Amino acid sequence: MTDIPFDAIGFDLDGTLLDTHKDLGCAVNHALELGGFAQVPVDSSKDLIGGGAKIMLARAVEAQGGLPEDEFRPLYKAMLAYYAQNNAVHSRPYPGALETLDALAEAGLTMAVVTNKFESFATSILTQLGLADRFVTIIGG
């Protein structure tokens, strides 16, 4: 028995449990390069995150003049394909995240991931990092 007033908890993934900005930034840069745009410094890609992968890429493209939708769409598909193959190269849990998950599990809480990231990507990253089994479900956008 604990003093925690609930039995379950849901976590966001990007920017909460995991630092994923480098893998996301590399995927954006892959698409930018294919489109003839300048790449962005991977560390500055943090400023592009929020709202999902399509919005992230759109922000990077718009900052360099933009593209019509019919030219943007193939870059977005290329970004997703690249990210599918490279989504856990640099991604790591934030300091203290694993200890927090351990403490919550020890307290008997049921844990889930709830993210706007595509569910297949979220599951893939968590599996590659050996974390998927900590959660009863992984819900993605």
- Can you list the domains of the chain with their CATH numbers? 8-19+92-139 (3.40.50.1000), 22-85 (1.10.150)
Is 12 among the catalytic positions? Answer: yes
Q: How far apart are CA 132 and CA 100, in angstroms?
A: 15
> Which segments of 1-141 are extended strands (E)?
8-11, 18-19, 92-93, 110-114, 137-139
pLDDT in tens, 57-86: 999 999 999 999 999 999 999 999 999 999
Question: Among the residues of 94-137, which ranges form H helices?
Answer: 97-106, 119-128
Rounded CA separation 108/41 (Å):
42
Q: Which of 12, 14, 19, 43 is catalytic?
A: 12
- Taking 70 as the pLDDT cut, the residues of the chain under it are 1-2
pTM: 0.90
Beta partners for residue 110, in sequence order: 8
